[in-house]
């Protein structure tokens, strides 16, 4: 029961402080799931993002479901999904019912304008922390820059291709390395 | 009500890549249904972007409410989430199997690939997010705090928002 409550509150927080969509959720998620609760290490965190990004749907929702399932089975799925959706649901209903002129309200615009650059900085920080942990050798460093170059050079390329090809390259490299080591013996 | 559920189920099931990637299909479905005009739709996307939470959920809740009240909001939101539940439960089994297989090393490379995607996203976000000196100051302050202190990202985000209210509202 306690773990269900933890899943719910964590994803409620993530839902409430993901401002700007997409990768904006990463800093809060990393702090809560990796640093505070220790449910995932850096590697597992990035794996999770890979899976949730390869599937249809909102990434934050997919992540809540995947982590909920992993920590507590189907009840965990319900707790995670409900937690991540509820803040949006409440805030948007509030705006729709009481505050149709939200876009004309200057402080909201200014608040968001201030949040935006900070979120970019926080995402950069998360990417740096993760990358440092994960890039443990020359192969992974080369893989990182190859992937980065492809993403920048081919705009609109779907993430799933990067995910599949990095996975495959790693399997092939490891296999050829092992073979070379065996032949050398 | 059922129509709201079905339309958003379709949006949830067919849009890959989350957030911004979902907007074009959403626009097509919702404008085609005659629920909103193009301009209204763009307003809702702007609100969805500025408020916390995934953009898809925000839009579903807003459009659902406008067309069916609170129940409509619930139907649309549940519709957009339902495909994720089905697909993610299947994916979690596949992931567990891959992890237990001899190809599990693939996941390490996948992690590196995702780190590259995040890094590329940061490069793409810098230009639209940092357009003047105040933006730059906020970004530098946030990065400095994230590196040198243990402050929660939530605190930094709220602080940046307040800094925005002060800098753009009162000073500039």
Q: Which tens digit of pLDDT belongs to each residue from B64-78?
A: 998 889 999 999 999
Q: Is residue A115 a part of any domain in this protein?
A: no
Burial track A26-37 (b if 16+ CB lie within 10 A, e otherwise): bbbbbbbbbeee
Q: Is residue B14 a part of any domain in this protein?
A: yes
My answer on whether B126 and B79 are in the same domain is no
My answer on whether B71 and B130 are in the same domain is no
Full residue range of the structural domain in which residue A12 is found:
2-109
* The domain boundary residue, chosen from B100, B127, B150: B100
Q: Is residue B145 a part of any domain in this protein?
A: yes
Q: Is residue A16 a part of any domain in this protein?
A: yes
CB of B154 closer than 8 Å to CB of A36: no
Distances from the Cα of B146 to the Cα of A31, A112, B12, B23, B134, angstroms: 11, 19, 34, 31, 18
Q: Considering all CA atoms of chain B, what is the largest pairwise distance in Å, rounded to the nearest integer?
A: 60
The pLDDT, as a whole number, for residue B2 is: 86
Q: How far is B112 from chain A (nearest CA, A)?
A: 6
My answer on whether B126 and B64 are in the same domain is no
My answer on whether B77 and B151 are in the same domain is no
- CB contacts under 8 A, B 91-150 vs A, are 91-92, 95, 103, 105-123, 125-126, 129-130, 135-136, 138-143, 146-147
Q: Closest Cα to residue A29, out of A61, A2, A69, A1?
A: A61
Cα atoms found within 13 Å of the Cα of residue A165, Cβ hemisphere only: 15
Instruction: Say how many Å lie between the first and final Cα of chain A, rounded.
Output: 54
- Pinpoint the alpha helices (H) of chain B: 2-14, 23-32, 38-50, 55-100, 106-129, 133-148, 153-164
Q: What is the ipTM of this complex?
A: 0.84
Q: How far is B159 from chain A (nearest CA, A)?
A: 8
The pLDDT, as a whole number, for residue A72 is: 93
Other residues' Cβ atoms within 10 Å of the Cβ of residue A2: 7
Q: Is residue B93 a part of any domain in this protein?
A: yes
My answer on whether B130 and B161 are in the same domain is yes
Residue A13 in contact with partner chain B when CB distance is under 8 A: yes
* The domain boundary residue, chosen from B60, B75, B100: B100
pTM above 0.95, yes or no: no
How many domains does chain A divide into? 1
Q: Is residue A105 a part of any domain in this protein?
A: yes
Q: Which DSSP category does A19 fall into?
A: B
Phi, psi dihedral angles at B105 (to 5 degrees): -60, -25
Other residues' Cβ atoms within 10 Å of the Cβ of residue B157: 24
Q: Is residue A161 a part of any domain in this protein?
A: no
My answer on whether B89 and B160 are in the same domain is no
CB-CB under 8 Å, A22 with B19:
yes
CB of B160 closer than 8 Å to CB of A114: yes
My answer on whether B125 and B162 are in the same domain is yes
Q: Is residue A99 a part of any domain in this protein?
A: yes
Rounded to 10 deg, the angle between the A106-134 and B38-50 helix axes is: 60
The pLDDT, as a whole number, for residue B172 is: 58
Rounded Cα distance between B7 and B31, Å, is 11
Q: How far is A98 from chain B (nearest CA, A)?
A: 12
The pLDDT, as a whole number, for residue B17 is: 61
How many domains does chain B divide into? 2
* The domain boundary residue, chosen from B100, B133, B155: B100
Collect the ranges in chain A with pLDDT lower than 70.
Answer: 21, 180-185
My answer on whether B95 and B18 are in the same domain is yes
CB-CB under 8 Å, B111 with A43:
yes
Q: Is residue A70 a part of any domain in this protein?
A: yes
My answer on whether B70 and B152 are in the same domain is no
Residue A129 in contact with partner chain B when CB distance is under 8 A: no
Residue B56 in contact with partner chain A when CB distance is under 8 A: yes
How many residues in chain A?
185
Q: How far is B99 from chain A (nearest CA, A)?
A: 10
How many residues in chain B?
172
Of B105, B153, B169, the CB nearest to A106: B169
Q: Is residue A114 a part of any domain in this protein?
A: no
Tokens of A87: 């803040």
Q: Is residue B79 a part of any domain in this protein?
A: yes
My answer on whether B7 and B82 are in the same domain is yes
The pLDDT, as a whole number, for residue B146 is: 92
My answer on whether B13 and B94 are in the same domain is yes
Q: Is residue B105 a part of any domain in this protein?
A: no
Burial track B64-85 (b if 16+ CB lie within 10 A, e otherwise): bbbbbeeebbbbbbbbbbbbbb
Helix (H) or strand (E) holding A126: helix A106-134
Query: In a structure prediction context, what are the per-residue pLDDT tens digits for chain B, which is 172 residues long?
Result: 888 999 889 888 887 666 666 777 788 888 888 888 888 888 888 888 888 888 888 888 988 998 889 999 999 999 999 999 999 999 888 888 988 888 888 888 888 998 998 888 888 888 888 888 888 999 999 999 999 998 999 999 999 999 999 988 876 5
The pLDDT, as a whole number, for residue A149 is: 92
Q: Closest Cα to residue A41, out of A49, A30, A26, A25?
A: A30
Q: Is residue A139 a part of any domain in this protein?
A: no
CB-CB under 8 Å, A171 with B162:
no
My answer on whether B78 and B116 are in the same domain is no
Full residue range of the structural domain in which residue B23 is found:
2-100
Rounded Cα distance between A60 and A70, Å, is 15
């Amino acid at each position: 029961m306690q773990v269900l409550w933890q899943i719910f509150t964590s994803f409620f927080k993530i839902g409430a402080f993901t401002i700007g969509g997409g990768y904006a959720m990463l800093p809060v998620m990393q702090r809560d799931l990796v640093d505070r609760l220790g449910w995932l290490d850096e590697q597992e965190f990035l794996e999770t993002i890979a899976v949730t990004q390869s599937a249809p749907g909102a990434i934050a929702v997919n992540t809540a479901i995947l982590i909920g399932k992993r920590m507590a089975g189907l009840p965990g799925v319900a707790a995670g999904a409900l937690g991540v959706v509820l803040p949006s649901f409440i805030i948007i209903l509030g705006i729709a019912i009481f505050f149709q002129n939200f876009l004309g309200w200057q402080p909201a615009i200014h608040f968001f304008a201030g949040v935006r650059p900070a979120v970019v900085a926080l995402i950069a920080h998360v990417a740096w922390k993760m990358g440092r942990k994960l890039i443990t050798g020359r192969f992974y460093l080369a893989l990182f820059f190859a992937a980065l170059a492809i993403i920048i050079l081919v705009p609109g390329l779907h993430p799933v291709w990067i995910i599949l090809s990095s996975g495959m390259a790693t399997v092939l490299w490891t296999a050829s390395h092992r073979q070379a080591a065996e032949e050398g013996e | 009500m059922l129509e709201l559920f079905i339309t958003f189920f379709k949006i949830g099931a067919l849009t890959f890549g989350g957030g911004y990637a979902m907007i074009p299909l959403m626009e097509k479905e919702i404008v085609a249904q005659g629920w909103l005009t193009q301009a209204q739709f763009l307003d809702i996307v702007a609100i969805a972007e500025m408020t916390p939470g995934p953009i898809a959920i925000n839009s579903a809740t807003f459009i659902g409410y406008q067309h069916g009240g609170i129940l409509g909001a619930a139907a649309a939101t549940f519709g957009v989430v339902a495909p994720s539940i089905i697909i993610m439960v299947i994916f979690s089994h596949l992931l567990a199997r891959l992890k237990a297989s001899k190809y599990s090393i693939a996941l390490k490379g996948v992690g590196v690939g995702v780190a590259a995607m995040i890094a590329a996203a940061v490069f793409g976000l810098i230009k639209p997010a940092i357009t003047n000196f105040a933006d730059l100051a906020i970004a530098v302050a946030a990065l400095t705090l994230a590196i040198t202190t243990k402050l929660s990202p939530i605190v930094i985000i709220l602080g940046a928002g307040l800094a925005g209210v002060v800098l753009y509202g009162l000073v500039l």
